[in-house]
Structure 1
Amino acid sequence: MHALTSLVVVPLAITTKFTLSPEQWVTRLARLHNAQLPELELLDAYYEGEQRCPACIRSCCGA
């Protein structure tokens, strides 16, 4: 059974100036998405019923 892990939090600089090229933005977004895939796949398995939810989730969600 997989343990529910925390989401990956990636700090982003707050700026109105876009210093990355379009290719760099795509690469950055793809890397951020790929870093979240394991967590997303686990949550999808819970949703699809392929993985049993941990007791802590069942107790707070009434599942």
Structure 2
Amino acid sequence: MSIRRDLSNATWRKSSYSNGDGGACVEVADNVPGAVPVRDSKVPDGPALVIPATGWGAFVAAVRSGAFPSR
């Protein structure tokens, strides 16, 4: 199921983990109530994943705890 959200007023910020040479650039918007939109900064007019805020919080907590080790 797909639900469309108006993200025209979203304030995007690049992840601190994105590299600076134009590679893996992820942006998130923090000002969308109850959700966290995520997009590829290289394609700002492309699609965004909109994740429930509770799910995003659980994901960030898992990353910080080392549940997804880097290679």
- TM-score normalized by structure 2? 0.28
Structure with larger Rg: 1
Structure with higher RCO (Cα < 8 A, 6+ apart): 1
What's the TM-score, normalizing by structure 1? 0.30
Give the helix-richer structure, 1 or 2: 1
